[in-house]
Amino acid sequence: MSAIRARLMSGWTFFRISLEERLVYRGDFMLGTLMRFLPIVTQIFLWWAIFESISSSSKATIAGYTREDMIAYYLLAMVSRAFSSMPGLTGGIALQIQTGEIKKFLIQPIDMLGCLLLQRTAHKLVYYVIAAIPFALVFYLCRDFFTRGWPPMEVLVAFVLSLVMAFLMGFFIEACIGLVGFWFLEITSLAFVYMLLNFFLSGHMFPLDLLTTESVDLRVFVEAIPLKYLAYFPAAIFLEKIPRDQLAVQLAIEAVWLLFFILLSRILWARGVRRYSGFGG
């Protein structure tokens, strides 16, 4: 019991320190957070212009999305990305392996993945607190685009669950890529490839329905990889684009993918540590 308590206390201490670190440069962090909202305006005008070029009617649709649905989707995808994106995580892990800084996790009774997860949780909490007002303002100004209103309670619960799992999946996917640094010290190209795939196949830029409407092969590929759960899936749940009878199945599949990446990260860490050699320092 004392060992569990000590582990919990050390975890809380690390979490608290991570929060304090994020709040040291509050002005810079707040400015960076606010600047991330500028592309939203550009994207809204872009989709507005696309639908206007197709038809002047507000009932025009693309892959089943009206103009209002498309803009609402983009706003919700931004929320999903705020949960699942992990800037600097992959490169940070690889750099620690490369410079030997990772030795601190080998000589002290500290779990690296657990510490990094607490650190990212602290970062996200600070981000959400600061971004809450801009997000609320943007959604208030764009409230007319949410023509369907609030979804039923079971859909909202599924939406929240998908966001939590998107955060965890985003963390463990990028942690796995970073841990490849035990075998390849330079993983910049691998991280870049993942970033590109994530950008287009997670649904960050546009609904994945636009990709899979015409091509069966592309639809099979998109469904076979887990990237859609990082942005598209939560937004599609809120807009009720996922049939109600498939919600539980899709959430279960997402949970299986999450478990897979958690286990993979642990395997990569255990095997990587065995082959790691650090000298000096």
Interval 189-211: pLDDT, tens: 898 999 988 888 888 888 888 87
Q: Is residue 220 part of a domain?
A: yes
Quote the CA–CA distance of 21 and 180 in Å, as a whole number.
27
pLDDT band with cut points at 50, 70 and 90 for residue 281: very low
* Tokens of residue 143, six digits: 């409230």
Which range has highest mean pLDDT (80-84, 215-219, 248-252)? 248-252
CB atoms within 10 A of CB 79: 20
The predicted model gives 164-175 an average pLDDT of: 95
Question: Residue 118's pLDDT band (boundaries 50, 70, 90)?
Answer: confident
Whether 163 maps to a domain, the answer reads: yes
In a domain, 137, yes or no: yes
With a cut of 80, say whether residue 69 has pLDDT above it: yes
Q: Greater confidence, 123 or 212? A: 123
Q: Is residue 122 part of a domain?
A: yes
Does 195 or 40 have the greater pLDDT score?
A: 195
Helix axes 112-141, 153-179, angle to 10 degrees: 140
- Residue 264's alpha-carbon distances to 16, 141, 188, 226, in angstroms, are 28, 42, 20, 14
Confidence of residue 65 (pLDDT cuts 50, 70, 90): confident
The domain tally of the chain equals: 1
Q: Which domain holds residue 165?
A: 2-34+68-275
- Return all residues near 145 (Cβ < 8 A) that are at least 6 apart: 68, 69, 71, 72, 75
Q: Is residue 45 part of a domain?
A: no
Q: Is 58 part of a structural domain of the chain? A: no
- Taking CA atoms, 42 is separated from 38, 48, 58, 233, in Å, by 7, 10, 20, 23
Structure confidence at residue 3 (pLDDT): 53
pLDDT of residue 36: 65
**3 state DSSP class of 56:** coil
Answer whether residue 255 is part of any domain.
yes
- Asked if residues 158 and 237 have their Cβ atoms less than 8 Å apart, the reply is yes
Q: What is the mean pLDDT of residues 204-223?
A: 76
pTM of the model: 0.83
The reply to whether 61 falls in a domain is: no
Residue 189 vs residues 184, 185, 228: alpha-carbon distances, Å: 11, 11, 22
Q: What is the pLDDT of residue 221?
A: 83
Mean residue pLDDT across the chain: 81
Considering only CA atoms, which of 248, 206, 249 is closest in space to residue 228? Answer: 206
